[in-house]
Structure 1
Amino acid sequence: MAVRVEVASDLLRWAVERAGWDEEAIERRAPRLGEWLAGTQQPTLKQLEKFASDTHTPFGLLFLPEPPIEELPIPDMRTMGNASVTHPSADLLDTIYLCQTRQDWYRTYVQENRAAEPDFVGSASTDSDPILVADRMRELLRFDLPERRAFSSWEDAARQLIDRIEQIGVLVMVNGVVGANTHRKLNPEEFRGFALADPLVPLIFVNGADTKAAQIFTMVHELAHIWLGESAVSDTAMNAEDGVDDELWCNQVAAEVLVPLATLRSDYSGQPDAEELERLARKYRVSTLVVLKRIFDAQFLSWEDYRKRYAGECQRVVEILSARRGDGGGGNYYYTQPIRLSRQFAQAVITSALEGTTTYREAYQLLGTKKHATFENLADELGVA
C-alpha cells in the first residue's frame, strides 16, 4: 500500500502560488490538488515528490507547519501601482541564486588573475546629474547615435551593447528561461532585470523573454544601478509619477543614454502617432515606450495625454510578447547559450577547466551542461582552445 503524507493545505497553496500556476496548469499538473486541499485525500509520497519537483519547491519545505516567508536576496525596487511587489516566484528566486553562484565563482577567478577593478562602480549617487552620467556611460560604451546607425536590427544593437558592456568589466546575462530549462519561462511582467553590484565583478541580468527593444533599455537601466553601486530587482516602469528614487534616477540615465533629449527635440516631427513612434524607435534602437517617454520629458505631451498613450502602447507591446512567448528561447544552442551565460563568464570557466584550475564537473554545473561534447562545442564557439 502506498504511503500517504499529511501536508498543510496552506503549504500546498503557497507552492502553487510560488510556481505561478493558473487553474489550467493546476488541472494539468496536479489534478488531485482539490482533494488534498479539502483533506478528503492525502497525497502519496511519490505524488508529493512529483508535486515538489513540478512546482520547483524544496521537498523539505512542504513538511513545515506553515509557509516560509521568502524574501529576495537583493533589494526589490519593482513597483506596480506605486506599491512594492511581494511574493517572488520560484523562477525569479532561482535565477538570482544561479547568477550569484556564477558571480561568486567569477570573482575568485578574477582575483586569481589580478584583474583591475572597474572605476565606475558606485561612482554616482541619485544626486548626480543624469545627463552627465549618461554622457560618461555613452563615452565608455561607444554607443552614441553615429555608432548605432551601423546596427542592422534591434538584435544586432542588443548584441553590440552586450559586448561593449562586458568590455568595460560588467558581466551581462540575458535569458528568457531559468538556467537552460526551456520549460521554466521567465515572465517579463514580474521583472525586467536585476543588477548584482560588486566592486570587482558587477553583473546585470536581463529578462530575455522581453522584446529586444525593451531589453536594450533594461540593460542600460541595470548598468545605471551598477553606477550607483547597488544591487536591485527592477521592472523599469516609466508611467509612475513617483516611486523609488533609485529606479526613477536609473530610468532617467537610461533614457538619456539611449535618446538624448537635445537630439530628440530636433528629430521629433510634432505628432506622436504610431508611425512617428516607430520611426524614432528604429533610429534610436529603443522601444516605442521609451520614445513616448522622451517626448513627454521634452514637454511635448501633458501628463494625462502621456499616460493615456502609454497605456495603449503597453497593450500593443503585451500582444507582441504574447505572440513570442511560445519560443522559450530556442534556436541554435551554441548561439544562445553564450548570451545566457555571458560570453566573458563562459570563456573564463572553459579556460579554467582546460588549465585544470576548475574541475570539469564544476565547469559543467556552471555552464549548465552535462556532456563533454557540449563543453567542447561551446569552447569552439567561444574560440577557447
Structure 2
Amino acid sequence: MARAEYVPVTGSVLAWARTEAGLTREGLAGRLRVEPAALEAWEQEIEKPTKTQFKQLTQVLKRPSAIFFAPHPPKPGEVTAAFRRGAVTDPDLNNEYQQLRSARHYQHIAEWLLRESGREEHDRLPRASVQSATARHSFAASIRDALGISFAQQCKYTSASVALKAWKNAVEQAFGVLVFQFQFPNAKATRGFSLPSTEAPVVVLNSAFNDQARIFTLFHEVAHLLLDDAKICHGWAPPESATRNERWAEAFAAELLLPRTEFVAKFRSRVTAGSHPTPEQIRSLASTTKVSARAVALRCIELGLAERRLYEEVVEALSGIDYKDSGGGGKGETTPYRRLREVGALFPSLVLRARDDEIIGHYDVLRYLDVSTAQARELESVLQGQG
C-alpha cells in the first residue's frame, strides 16, 4: 500500500485564506470532509494535509498552490477598497463585498504571478498629491500622453462602447492596472471601487452603468489610485459636499477626458457665445466626447462656460442618463468573450504567460479563468487576434 504524501503548508497563510473566503473552520472542514480538529492542526502546523487534501484546499479556497508556502500572509490592511456610490442614497453595501472579494481574489493571483515571473513590463502608476489646478492640469496631460489616445481620436470613436474598450486597454497596457467590470446586486448603488497595489492595482466598474458613465468612473478610480486613497466616498457628489480628495479625483478625470483647450473649442462650436447651454446641448457634447453628461456639465461649470445651475438642470432633464437601457447585457456571448468583458485582457494574458513559463499548469489556467479546455483555447485565440 502506497504511503500518503503530506504537504507542508504555512498555517497562518491557510488561516488567512480561509478567512478571506468567508469560511469558518467548521465550514471549510465540511467542504473538505475532514474534522475541524484536523483543520485546526494544519493551521497550527501540528499536522499536514495530504497531497489530495491540499489539492482540494486550493480548489475550495481558489488560491494558487504556491501561496500556501509563503512565509506569512499579506499584511492586514494591504488591500482596501474605495467604493464610489451612485445616485441611490444610503445603500446597503453588504452585497457589494462579493464583488470586492472577487476583485481581491484576481488581484492576489496577479500579484503572485508577477512576482514569480520576475517581469515588469508596464510603467508603474506615479503618485500624486492634491495639487493646484495648474499642477493637476500638467499631471492629467502627462497621464493622457502615456495612454496614447488624443482628444481627436476620442471624438472619432464610433460609439461609447468602442471608446470604453480603448480606454480600458490603454490603462492596462500603459500602467498594468487590472480593469474589471462586474454586475452588482444593488445595481445603482455603487459606480465602482479601486484596490491599490504596487504590483497589480485594480479598478472595478459597475456594468449597470452605461459606457459613457463607466469611462468617467474609470479615470475617477485611476485618480484615487494615483492618490493612494482608499476612502469610502460617494460618486457624483456636489462640489460643495465632496471631500478634498474626491473633488480632486472628479477634476482629474474631467481634465484628462475633457482637456481645456480642445473642450472649450468643441463647446463653442455647439453653444452660442454668451448663452447658457441647454441639457440637450450637453447631451450632444457628451455623445461626441464619449463622456457622461454629468461630467460634461461639471466641466462646463468648472471652466466658467456655464452657471452652477446647469448640473441640476441636466440631472433633472436627462433622467436615467447614466444607466444602460434594459435588455442586451451580453446575450449570446460565448464564455471566453464574457470573461474578457468582465476581467479585461491583462489578467488572462498574465495567466496564459505564466503557463507558458511553466509557473502554473493547464488546470491552474482553467481554475483561475473559470473556463473549460475548449474555452481556454478560444479565449487565447481571441487575445492573440487582439494583439
Equivalence for 1:379: 380
Q: 1:235 to 1:213 in 2, by over 3 A?
A: farther
Do 1:197 and 1:226's aligned partners in 2 also have CA atoms closer than 8 Å? yes
Residue of structure 1 aligned with 2:131, choices 115, 118, 127: 127
Equivalence for 1:290: 295
Instruction: Give a deviation string over 1:200-245, Cα, whole Å, max 9, x none.
Output: 2212111122100001101111111121123455653153422222
Summarize the alignment of residues 120-199 of structure 1 with structure 2, pairs less than 5 Å apart. 121-127=125-131, 129-177=135-183, 185-199=184-198
| Alpha-carbon distance between aligned partners in 1 of 2:232 and 2:339, rounded to the nearest angstrom | 23
| Alpha-carbon distance between aligned partners in 1 of 2:213 and 2:85, rounded to the nearest angstrom | 17
Equivalence for 1:201: 200
What is the CA RMSD across the aligned residues, in angstroms? 3.1
| Alpha-carbon distance between aligned partners in 2 of 1:306 and 1:274, rounded to the nearest angstrom | 8
| Alpha-carbon distance between aligned partners in 1 of 2:111 and 2:172, rounded to the nearest angstrom | 15
SS of the residue corresponding to residue 192 of structure 1 reads strand
SS of the residue corresponding to residue 190 of structure 2 reads coil
| Alpha-carbon distance between aligned partners in 2 of 1:230 and 1:136, rounded to the nearest angstrom | 20
SS of the residue corresponding to residue 281 of structure 1 reads helix
| Alpha-carbon distance between aligned partners in 2 of 1:298 and 1:74, rounded to the nearest angstrom | 34
Q: 1:101 to 1:378 in 2, by over 3 A?
A: same
The range that moved more, 251-260 or 113-122, is: 113-122
Q: 1:79 to 1:205 in 2, by over 3 A?
A: closer
Q: 1:160 to 1:78 in 2, by over 3 A?
A: closer
| Alpha-carbon distance between aligned partners in 2 of 1:348 and 1:264, rounded to the nearest angstrom | 37
Q: TM-score, normalised by structure 2?
A: 0.69
| Alpha-carbon distance between aligned partners in 2 of 1:367 and 1:308, rounded to the nearest angstrom | 43
Instruction: State the one-letter code of the partner of 2:264.
Output: R
- The size of the alignment, in residue pairs, is 301
| Alpha-carbon distance between aligned partners in 1 of 2:349 and 2:163, rounded to the nearest angstrom | 22
Equivalence for 2:255: 256
Shift of 1:308: 2.6
SS of the residue corresponding to residue 108 of structure 1 reads helix
| Alpha-carbon distance between aligned partners in 1 of 2:384 and 2:263, rounded to the nearest angstrom | 40
SS of the residue corresponding to residue 149 of structure 2 reads coil
Q: Which runs of 5+ in 2 are unaligned?
A: 1-76
Matched-pair identity in %:
20
Do 2:182 and 2:204's aligned partners in 1 also have CA atoms closer than 8 Å? no
Residue of structure 2 aligned with 1:302, choices 292, 297, 307: 307
SS of the residue corresponding to residue 195 of structure 1 reads strand
Q: TM-score, normalised by structure 1?
A: 0.69
Instruction: State the one-letter code of the partner of 2:286.
Output: A
Summarize the alignment of residues 1-385 of structure 1 with structure 2, pairs less than 5 Å apart. 74-76=80-82, 78=84, 87-90=92-95, 92-116=96-120, 121-127=125-131, 129-177=135-183, 185-231=184-230, 235-268=234-267, 269=271, 270-303=275-308, 305-313=309-317, 315-317=319-321, 320-321=323-324, 323-324=325-326, 326-333=327-334, 334-369=336-371, 371-383=372-384
Shift of 1:359: 3.6
Do 2:84 and 2:190's aligned partners in 1 also have CA atoms closer than 8 Å? yes
Q: 1:213 to 1:298 in 2, by over 3 A?
A: same
Q: 1:373 to 1:144 in 2, by over 3 A?
A: same
Instruction: State the one-letter code of the partner of 2:102.
Output: L
The range that moved more, 151-160 or 185-194, is: 185-194
Q: Which has the higher contact order (CA 8 A, sep 6+)?
A: 2
Do 1:196 and 1:202's aligned partners in 2 also have CA atoms closer than 8 Å? yes
Do 2:110 and 2:347's aligned partners in 1 also have CA atoms closer than 8 Å? yes
| Alpha-carbon distance between aligned partners in 2 of 1:341 and 1:79, rounded to the nearest angstrom | 21
| Alpha-carbon distance between aligned partners in 2 of 1:117 and 1:226, rounded to the nearest angstrom | 19
Q: 1:120 to 1:349 in 2, by over 3 A?
A: closer
| Alpha-carbon distance between aligned partners in 1 of 2:333 and 2:201, rounded to the nearest angstrom | 28
Q: 1:116 to 1:281 in 2, by over 3 A?
A: same
| Alpha-carbon distance between aligned partners in 2 of 1:314 and 1:234, rounded to the nearest angstrom | 24
Do 2:176 and 2:201's aligned partners in 1 also have CA atoms closer than 8 Å? yes
Do 2:180 and 2:343's aligned partners in 1 also have CA atoms closer than 8 Å? yes
Do 2:297 and 2:314's aligned partners in 1 also have CA atoms closer than 8 Å? yes
Do 1:175 and 1:207's aligned partners in 2 also have CA atoms closer than 8 Å? yes
Q: 1:100 to 1:79 in 2, by over 3 A?
A: closer
Q: 1:123 to 1:76 in 2, by over 3 A?
A: closer
Q: 1:216 to 1:152 in 2, by over 3 A?
A: same
Do 1:77 and 1:247's aligned partners in 2 also have CA atoms closer than 8 Å? no
